[in-house]
Structure 1
Amino acid sequence: MSTKQLPPANPEQRAKVPQPAGADFKPRDYASFFLAGALCATLTHGGMTPIDVVKTRIQIDPALSKHSLLAAGRKIVAAEGPKGLMTGFGPTAVGYFVQGGGKFAGYEFWKKQFVSIAGSQENAVKYRTAIYLGGASVAEFFADILLTPLEATRIRLVSDRTYASGLMSGFARMAREGGLREMYAGFVPILFKQIPYAIGQFTVNELCHEAALRTMSEEHKANQTTTEKFTISLGSGIVAGFAAAILSHPADTLLSQINKGHGPDGPMLSRLAALARQAGFSGLFAGLGPRMIMTAGLVAGQFLLYDACKHAMGAPPGIEIHKD
């Protein structure tokens, strides 16, 4: 992400909350962050629908659980035709439009709040990892309130081709038959999945950017070429994507099982624990390879598109608290 460095605090300013230029965001700035995040998330997640379909089917269909991404994809196409790989495109695009907007704008907002709470430039830099973790976690929590019903609809459509013909009919059926309880049945496992995902996405991306920039002189940083900036952003996004996939994959597997109705009755945490014991370590990480490929592309693409959209809308950069 494009960022702006906090000004160094002098002895008289160290007790004050840092107020860097460009960090006094206005409502229209957050609207720009929301729209940029919404566009980058819906474009990348929508484009990855075929891979996500195969990944989900590997997780929930015993007949496909041992297959590779390509082999499972071929079987799905053979049985259902090419359109089978686009199942769930509607809820994916809409769900990640609202979730992406809430997550990216929320991260900008909460990161700024935690930087202010730190009280000084030195403290913000010292506790920057905690700030990244906190900002990503809180932003994701609120974004998941928007995502959960649409993600439940997507998984139902992917796991059962007879459930409904598309987003509107699937969403309406779920609302009619189960109401809010059914629509939010997966909220807790979504939090278990998405919060580690956001932590990997934002925190690892920030740390990778910092590691790359620390190898450069101040003059080099100020005069980076477009190619250098692109390479750093792409590499950081890919590594962050791998981290996000690994951290969130067990909960992603459990979420697919919950939304298909698997597991015993009872409190959600008990159901998750029972499903985890039943799946075992290997079962919880079934489909990790395809998901790592998908997530690396998603995260890298999102950061590149997010910066491009922000630039096109004239939005300000975020706050940078990298260690010099």
Structure 2
Amino acid sequence: MGEVVKDLTAGTVGGAAQLVCGHPFDTIKVKLQSQPNPLPGQPPKFSGAIDAVKQTLAAEGAGGLYKGMGAPLATVAAFNAVLFAVRGQMETLLRSQPGAPLTVGQQVICGAGAGVAVSFLACPTELIKCRLQAQSAMGDSGSVGATVKYGGPLDVAKQVLRSEGGTRGLFKGLVPTMAREIPGNAALFGAYEALKQFFAGGQDTSGLGRGSLIVAGGLAGAAFWASVYPTDVVKSVIQVDDYKNPKFSGSIDAFRKILASEGVKGLYRGFGPAMARSVPANAACFLAYEVTRSSLG
């Protein structure tokens, strides 16, 4: 079996594991990121992550935590297959000879290159996911389920294509998506390789056990979000912004307005759920990837 096929297959399995473990955390993150600023003297819709979970469960049941999962589930195969396959091909290009281990710096370069490729898949998927996750949080007040604009992932796509500039509308937020994926994946794969080499005591990491891979994958996921979280907040607010009456003219405008109205803490709304998600989700992703790829020979 070719190396590209192995990466495609293992990346698909890893992505599915990541999605199942992490999506409820991601839903809460997006709700916190996209909730409207409260009126003077009024409390915010969600006081924090736990409150957002409670309100979502009360109004929508457990299924509410998996809202918007259809879009990433439909594309998770393509997304993670491309991510790991591009990374694998860049590894091949950077190796001094076949089978030679790469340095941490070279893995950073591989991660950045993979980030460029997956940005074009991530942007429309994220837009659909964020619209579905955020629509209840975008309501003025009252119950979480008060505002229902979209019936599902396909409905989001249809409405955007019909009334938000066609295909271009699905790529709203591409710039902040790239600003997240490129440095984020550089940090992800760089940290993963650094941790594996630390645990192995050298560049040969082939003998590492599953426990070490789980820890390395989990901490690498934390490195991703710690390095790019404010960019993700900007991406989310841009993607859920109203097309006809936008609050923001672009990414820089969104960044400035969030800082002006909420300070630095506004750029870290939902950071807790994001970090809580990143560790188990990426641990599951990397473990599933490594085990699957190893089983393919």
* TM-score for both structures, normalised by structure 2: 0.83
Tell me, in whole angstroms, the C-alpha distance in 2 between the residues paired with 1:49 and 1:287.
14
Cα–Cα, structure 1 residues 115 and 264, in superposed 2: closer, same or farther, change >3 Å?
Answer: farther
Equivalent residue for 1:181, pick from 164, 168, 191: 168
Is the Cα–Cα contact under 8 Å of residues 245 and 291 in structure 1 kept in the other structure? yes
User: Which range moves more in the overlay, 271-280 or 174-183?
Assistant: 271-280
Most deviating of 255-264 and 268-277: 268-277
Match of 2:7 in 1: 33
CA distance in 2, matches of 1:192, 1:279: 22
Q: Which amino acid aligns with 1:34?
A: L
Q: 1:276 to 1:181 in 2, by over 3 A?
A: farther
Written as runs of structure 1 = structure 2, the 5 A alignment for 1:60-75 is 60-61=34-35, 62=37, 63-64=44-45, 66-67=47-48, 69-75=49-55
Q: 1:173 to 1:273 in 2, by over 3 A?
A: same
Give the secondary-structure state (helix, strand or coil) at the position aligned to 2:70: helix
Code of the residue aligned with 2:181 in structure 1: it is: Q
- Equivalenced residue count is 274
- For 1:113, the equivalent position in structure 2 comes to 93
Find the counterpart in structure 1 of residue 180 from structure 2: 193
The question of 1:130 aligning with 2:105 is answered yes
Matches within 5 A, 1:1-324: 28-61=2-35, 62=37, 63-64=44-45, 66-67=47-48, 69-116=49-96, 128-161=103-136, 162-178=148-164, 179-214=166-201, 229-261=209-241, 264-314=247-297
Aligned mates of 2:28, 2:47 — CA distance in 1: 12
SS state of the match for residue 165, structure 1? coil
> Following the alignment from structure 2 to structure 1, what is the Cα–Cα distance between the partners of residues 89 and 184?
18
1:201-252, Cα deviation, whole Å (9 max, x unpaired): 2110100111111179x9xx88x5xxx6112111111221221121121111
- Opposite residue 140 of structure 1, the aligned amino acid is G
Unmatched 5+ residue regions in structure 1?
1-25, 315-324
Q: What letter matches 1:237 in structure 2?
A: G
Q: Aligned partners of 2:262, 2:94: CA distance in 1, in Å?
A: 38
C-alpha deviation, 1:154, in angstroms? 0.6
Larger of the two Rg values belongs to structure: 1
Contact 2:14–2:284 (8 Å) recurs in 1: yes
Distance 1:256 1:37 in 2: 25
Query: Residue 196 of structure 1: CA displacement?
Result: 2.8
Give 3-state SS (helix, strand or coil) of 2:269's partner: coil
Please provide the CA RMSD for this pair.
2.7
How far residue 265 of structure 1 moved from its aligned partner, in angstroms, is 4.9
The whole-number CA distance in structure 2 between the counterparts of 1:292 and 1:280 is 20
Partner of residue 140, structure 2: none
Q: Which amino acid aligns with 1:187?
A: L
Whether the aligned pair in 1 keeps the contact of 2:214 and 2:283 (CA below 8 Å) is yes
**Counterparts of 1:249 and 1:206, CA distance in 2:** 21
In structure 1, what is the equivalent of residue 145 of structure 2?
none
Query: Residue type matched to 1:168 in 2?
Result: L
Q: Which letter does structure 1 place at the counterpart of 2:154?
A: M
Aligned letter for 1:98? Answer: A
| Distance (Å, rounded) in 2 between the aligned partners of 1:279 and 1:103 | 34
SS of equivalent residue, structure 2 residue 241 = coil
Q: Distance in 1 between matches of 2:218 and 2:229?
A: 16
Q: Quick one: structure 1 residues 111 and 50, their matched pair in 2 at CA, closer, same or farther if it must change by over 3 Å?
A: same
Q: Distance between the aligned counterparts of 2:223 and 2:107, measured in 1?
A: 15
Q: Give 1:276 deviation, angstroms.
A: 4.5
- Please state whether the residue corresponding to 1:163 is helix, strand or coil: coil
